[in-house]
Amino acid sequence: MIIDCGTCEVAGAACADCVVTVLLGPPSRELIDEHAAAVAVLADSGLVPPLRLVPRRAS
């Protein structure tokens, strides 16, 4: 899984409550599948906020 914050519809507005910002700092990072699975477990357990990524639609 690649998380590209540059393609997120809610970038800026939802960054403060997104797991990418909490775990990795400001946007512009990518997560690999294994890390994404671990983040999902942490979010489901309430230990970190969930991923807020909303991919932009192609024009």
Residue with more model confidence, 56 or 5: 5
Stated pTM of the model: 0.43
Question: Which CA distances in Å does 10 have to 1, 4, 35, 45?
Answer: 18, 12, 22, 24
Q: How far apart are CA 21 and CA 2, in angstroms?
A: 15
Per-residue pLDDT reduced to its tens digit, 7-44: 888 877 888 888 877 777 665 556 667 777 887 888 89
Dihedral angle, C-alpha 15, 19, 25, 27, nearest 10 °: -50
